[in-house]
């Protein structure tokens, strides 16, 4: 009889432990990947009522044969339209707006389009052969025309970030009549040269503090002598680790891709849980295509020497993802009817998210007015 009682107690204890572990697992998952319906919050007035004339939506539109998703947000639907081309390839910027608010929606109706194969636009059936620069530029122009028609605008504003500048400068050059201006944030110029400049800078930084562990890791990639080593290094974990360790990667204050990008993307409840997982499925898919190789061979100075609309460069002084010095060099060479260069002294690769007040001031006082008055003040 005592053995039976003991067995029942042990079984009850095991059951309690199992239930507790299961509850802990559910809690951890809900913290990392919180449940949601995936709807962006509406804009509200001071009485917590829906702000009249505002827009906050997530939609899917057929773009050149593929359903592609986008968030469209603005406090006033009559404001100018801004198409934001995210970085990557294969990684949207939208979820960063939750961690780093920009207030772009105060001045624009902003379209956060998620490009072919990315996030909301990720489909396992997407043909890999359509993942080309030419197709992405065509998609950009098609999305532009969708926005022009939907909001009754003759022209819109185009802004690119990192990989998005690679597409943006080409789209603006190909179809200048569609845009009031092109805003470049962390412009891609000559990425292979940029990687070499950044590699040398970071290696010297580690040598200056005698960090033998990182020195040895860097010297394992002789990128100055070998194109293969350059390619391997450019896609390595070492590159991201070092850039974020030294404050010259995504943001000055972001010390890890995991804590700074991965976990915030999983917490963004404007996406459903499946859509959040698709952010990373799309990132992996994009890496399997030839997009990075096409990007690495691009030479902006040679291929887009001029542009027929105003162009505004937003450059982080500490940007070594797309080196600041090359952005300045390209700005000095490009011909445009109006051009301005703004140095963000506290930023690395993401000035809009790192110094949002300065960025919004430039957009409202210079870009929207076709001026360059703040260039000398904020550079």
Instruction: Locate the domains of the chain by residue range.
Output: 55-189+263-378, 192-255
Percentages of the chain per state (helix, strand, coil), in multiples of 5: 50, 15, 35
| Helix 191-208 with 212-219: angle, nearest 10 deg | 150
C-alpha to C-alpha distance for 22 and 7, rounded to whole angstroms: 22
**pTM of the predicted model as reported, rounded to 2 decimal places:** 0.91
Question: Are 338 and 310 a contacting pair, CB within 8 Å?
Answer: yes
**Tens-place pLDDT, residues 248-283:** 999 999 999 999 999 999 999 999 999 999 999 999
Which distant-in-sequence residues (6+ apart) come within 8 Å of 181 by Cβ? 157, 158, 309, 310, 311, 312, 338, 367, 370
Q: What is the pLDDT of residue 2?
A: 57
C-alpha to C-alpha distance for 5 and 86, rounded to whole angstroms: 64
> How far from the centroid of its chain's Cα atoms is residue 263's Cα?
15
C-alpha to C-alpha distance for 274 and 151, rounded to whole angstroms: 30
Work out the average pLDDT over 71-96. Answer: 96
C-alpha to C-alpha distance for 276 and 264, rounded to whole angstroms: 10
Q: What is the pLDDT of residue 36?
A: 77
Tell me which residue of 86, 72, 80, 131 sits closest to 108, measured CA to CA. Answer: 80
Q: To the nearest whole number, what is the mean pLDDT of the chain?
A: 92
**Tens-place pLDDT, residues 170-179:** 999 999 999 9
User: What does the block give as tokens for 254?
Assistant: 């972001």
With a cut of 80, say whether residue 296 has pLDDT above it.
Answer: yes
C-alpha to C-alpha distance for 322 and 340, rounded to whole angstroms: 18
CATH number for 55-189+263-378: choose from 3.30.70.20, 3.50.50.60, 3.40.50.1820, 2.60.40.10: 3.40.50.1820
Q: What is the pLDDT of residue 118?
A: 96
**Tens-place pLDDT, residues 3-32:** 665 665 565 555 545 444 443 333 344 455
Question: Are 119 and 88 a contacting pair, CB within 8 Å?
Answer: no
> How far from the centroid of its chain's Cα atoms is residue 91's Cα?
6
């Amino acid at each position: 009889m005592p053995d039976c009682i003991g067995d029942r107690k042990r079984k009850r204890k095991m059951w309690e432990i199992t239930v507790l572990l299961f509850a802990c697992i559910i809690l951890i998952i809900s913290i990392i990947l919180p449940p949601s319906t995936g709807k962006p919050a509406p804009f509200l007035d001071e009485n917590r009522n829906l702000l009249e004339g505002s827009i906050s939506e997530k939609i899917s539109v057929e773009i050149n044969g593929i359903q592609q998703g986008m968030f469209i947000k603005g406090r006033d639907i009559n404001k100018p339209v801004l198409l934001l081309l995210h970085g990557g390839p294969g990684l949207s910027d939208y979820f960063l707006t939750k961690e780093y608010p920009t207030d772009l929606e105060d001045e624009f109706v902003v379209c956060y389009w998620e490009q072919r194969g990315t996030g909301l636009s990720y489909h396992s059936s997407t043909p890999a052969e359509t993942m080309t620069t030419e197709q992405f530029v065509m998609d950009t122009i098609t999305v532009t025309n969708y926005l022009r028609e939907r909001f009754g605008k003759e022209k819109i504003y185009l802004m690119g970030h990192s990989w998005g500048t690679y597409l943006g400068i080409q789209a603006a050059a190909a179809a200048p009549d569609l845009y009031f201006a092109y805003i470049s944030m962390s412009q891609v110029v000559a990425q292979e040269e940029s990687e070499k400049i950044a590699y040398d800078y970071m290696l010297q930084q580690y040598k200056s503090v005698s960090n033998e562990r990182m020195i040895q890791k860097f010297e394992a990639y002789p990128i100055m002598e070998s194109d293969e080593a350059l390619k391997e290094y450019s896609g390595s974990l070492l590159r991201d680790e070092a850039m974020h360790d030294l404050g010259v990667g995504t943001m000055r204050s972001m010390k890890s891709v995991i804590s700074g990008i991965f976990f915030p993307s999983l917490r963004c409840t404007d996406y459903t849980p499946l859509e959040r997982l698709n952010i990373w499925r799309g990132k992996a898919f994009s890496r399997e295509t030839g997009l990075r190789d096409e990007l690495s061979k691009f030479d902006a100075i040679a291929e887009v020497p001029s542009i027929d609309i105003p162009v505004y460069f937003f450059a982080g002084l500490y940007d070594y993802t797309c080196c600041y010095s090359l952005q300045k060099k390209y700005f000095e060479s490009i011909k445009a009817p109006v051009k301005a260069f703004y140095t963000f002294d506290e930023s690395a690769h993401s000035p809009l998210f790192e110094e949002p007040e300065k960025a919004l001031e430039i957009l409202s006082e210079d870009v929207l007015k076709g001026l360059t008055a703040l260039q000398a003040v904020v550079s």
